[in-house]
Amino acid sequence: MLLSNALNLAATMAGLSASDGFEPPTIGEFFPDAVFFAGTPFALNRIMLIRILIMVVILVLFSLWTSKFRKAYKNQQFVPSRFQLMGEISLNFVRKTIAHEQLGEKDGDRFLPLLATTFFIVLGMNITGIIPSLNIAGTSVIGLPIVLAVAAYFTFIYAGIKKHGAHFFKLALIPEGVPVVFLPLVFLIELLSTFILRPVTLALRLTMNMVAGHLLLVLCFSATQFFFFSSIVEGFTKAFGAGTFLFGFVFSLFEILVAFLQAYVFTLLTTVYIQLALADEH
Amino acid sequence: MISRIIHSEAVPNILLPATPDLIWSSVVFVILLTFFWFRVLPNFKKTLDARTDAIEGRLAEAERISAEAAKQTAAMASAQEDSRAEAAAVREQARAEGVAIIAELKEQANAEAARITATAKAQIEAERQAALVSLRAEVGTLAIDLASKVVGASLQNDKVATNVVNDFLADLEGGKQK
């Protein structure tokens, strides 16, 4: 509601109103009609199809890289080809820069499957927001961020319990050195922040970034369309279209940055949560 | 516009996932997690580990070779040292032997000289004896001749003559000794 209000406001500020033939984007953007299996729990709309497409792209790309790895291993060929090196750099970004940096080599490699999967899913799904003809991020509908956040949630709880047993909850909820008077309050705050807000913020941060990015781009480009081609706009006013187009172009570039950044942030936070669960003190 | 959103029942809440959304998200996630877990990452790690091993192996090999070279150099140096010491020993022995040979030769020469001297002395003594004997015989004959002439008497009796000569000579020697 708030979001559509804001958009309405933006449209009004641009000197337009909905009745003038300009269609500002709505959150309906994120709920397109089902293409296949409509009405069933397996209904596939455009965004779900984009997700499956990206999944296939990731499967193909990493299969190619994996076969390169296998071949290199089999032939004892230790100088990677350029293509293989790209795969190594991608995977090492997650492995070294995120996992090893936060968790150390042993635990880093232990949790690498989840972290790598999370990173490449989020990155792949984010980037579709600016790919022409796809034009919407696979992560802009909350289902996928929720699945990833839940996976992160259970993983860090698993990591904590595996390391500390039931003691993990005491470590997480009752920090040492807190005066007894404040303990109930601290307990509540820790409970809220660790076990409720963490997954919620993970999922929301990602979704809202993608939603906002998408709406901004749609707003810019549909305004451009309106200024250039609407019969209501005449003469000099059409020049506004160039401005909105430029704005949209710059924001497209910005969205690339956001796509990488959000993938990095999501994975890094997952790692940090695991690291905190493994730590001996909080 | 607000009213349009409110009244359009088709627009769901953006914060609540629809069932298909969750299902397809889970499918994508599970497939990719499995893929990365059991397919991509093991191979990736294997390749990296093999590369690390290879690099470390080559480093170790290089280290081994250089150690071996150092050992060989040391062995060569010690062999050189040995042969030098051996040469010195040989030289020393030769010198000692030379000294011994010279000493022996010197001794031999001394002995030879002594022998020659002794021989010479013996010869001289023998010659002296011979001269003495011959002189005695000659002196005897002369004395007899002389006495024969002086005495006129026949001192042909050998026995008497010889006694006379011998007495004479004994007197001579006795007188010489006195």
- SS3 assignment, position B8: coil
**Residues A123/A117, Cβ–Cβ less than 8 Å:** no
Residues of A in contact with B40 (CB under 8 A): 62, 65-66, 91, 116
In a domain, A202, yes or no: yes
d(CA A179, nearest CA chain B) in Å? 38
- Contacts of residue A80, defined as CB under 8 A and 6 or more positions apart, other chains included, come to A68, A72, A88
Closest Cα in chain A to B55? A78
Residues of B in contact with A63 (CB under 8 A): 39
Neighbouring C-beta atoms of residue A193, cutoff 10 Å: 12
Residues of A in contact with B43 (CB under 8 A): 66, 69-70, 73
pLDDT tens-place string over residues A206-230: 999 999 999 999 999 999 988 888 8
**Residues A127/A176, Cβ–Cβ less than 8 Å:** no
**Taking all residues of chain B, what is their mean pLDDT, rounded to a whole number?**
85
In a domain, A52, yes or no: no
Mean pLDDT of A244-256: 94
Contacts 24+ apart (CB under 8 A), B87-96: none
Nearest to A147 by CA among A266, A237, A12, A36: A266
Q: What is the H or E stretch that residue B30 is in?
A: helix B19-35
In a domain, A151, yes or no: yes
Dist CA B45 CA A73 (whole Å):
10
Residue with tokens 């011979």: B130
In a domain, A118, yes or no: yes
Inform me whether the C-beta atom of residue B35 falls under 8 Å from chain A C-beta atoms: yes
Closest Cα in chain B to A47? B21
Work out how many domains chain B is built from and give that number.
1
Closest Cα in chain A to B16? A142
Work out how many domains chain A is built from and give that number.
1
Indicate the pLDDT class of residue B22, thresholds 50, 70 and 90: very high
Interface test with A, best of B32, B38, B56 (most A CBs within 10 A): B32
Dist CA A137 CA A256 (whole Å):
11
Mean pLDDT of B147-176: 72
Q: Which two tokens stand for residue A84?
A: 């293989």
In a domain, A177, yes or no: yes
Burial category of A88 from C-beta neighbours within 10 Å (exposed 0-12, middle 13-18, buried 19 and up): buried
pLDDT above 60: residue A244: yes
Neighbouring C-beta atoms of residue A187, cutoff 10 Å: 14
pLDDT tens-place string over residues B50-96: 888 888 888 999 999 999 999 999 999 999 999 999 999 999 999 99
pLDDT tens-place string over residues A19-75: 457 778 888 888 888 888 888 889 999 999 999 999 999 999 999 999 999 998 998
Which residues span the domain enclosing B65? Answer: 2-125
More confident residue, A282 or A47: A47
Inform me whether the C-beta atom of residue A31 falls under 8 Å from chain B C-beta atoms: yes
In a domain, B166, yes or no: no
Q: Do A204 and B5 touch (CB under 8 A)?
A: no
Q: Which of A11-25, A42-56, A110-124, A152-166 has the lowest mean pLDDT?
A: A11-25
More confident residue, A247 or A281: A247
More confident residue, B139 or A134: A134
Indicate the pLDDT class of residue A170, thresholds 50, 70 and 90: confident
- At A45, give phi and psi (nearest 5°): -100, -175
Residue B170 identity (one-letter amino acid): A
Tell how many helices (H) and how many strands (E) occur in chain A: 10, 2
Indicate the pLDDT class of residue A118, thresholds 50, 70 and 90: very high
- Contacts of residue A228, defined as CB under 8 A and 6 or more positions apart, other chains included, come to A238, A241
Inform me whether the C-beta atom of residue A36 falls under 8 Å from chain B C-beta atoms: no
In a domain, A106, yes or no: yes
What's the sign of the alpha-carbon dihedral B9, B14, B20, B22?
negative
Nearest to A204 by CA among B56, B26, B14, B68: B14
In a domain, A18, yes or no: no
- SS3 assignment, position A164: helix
pLDDT above 60: residue A184: yes
d(CA A184, nearest CA chain B) in Å? 31
Indicate the pLDDT class of residue B7, thresholds 50, 70 and 90: very low
- Torsion angle, alpha carbons of A169, A170, A172, A177, to 10: 180
Q: Which two tokens stand for residue B52?
A: 């690390």
In a domain, A141, yes or no: yes
pLDDT above 50: residue B8: no
Q: Do B32 and A69 touch (CB under 8 A)?
A: no
Closest Cα in chain A to B6? A1
Closest Cα in chain A to B17? A143
Which residues span the domain enclosing A222? Answer: 89-278
Inform me whether the C-beta atom of residue B41 falls under 8 Å from chain A C-beta atoms: yes
Predicted pLDDT at A232: 82
Predicted pLDDT at A82: 92
A72, A182, A201, B26, B91 from A85: Cα distances, Å = 11, 53, 35, 30, 69
What's the sign of the alpha-carbon dihedral B52, B57, B62, B63?
positive
ipTM of the complex in this document: 0.87
**Residues A217/A252, Cβ–Cβ less than 8 Å:** yes
Dist CA B127 CA B121 (whole Å):
10
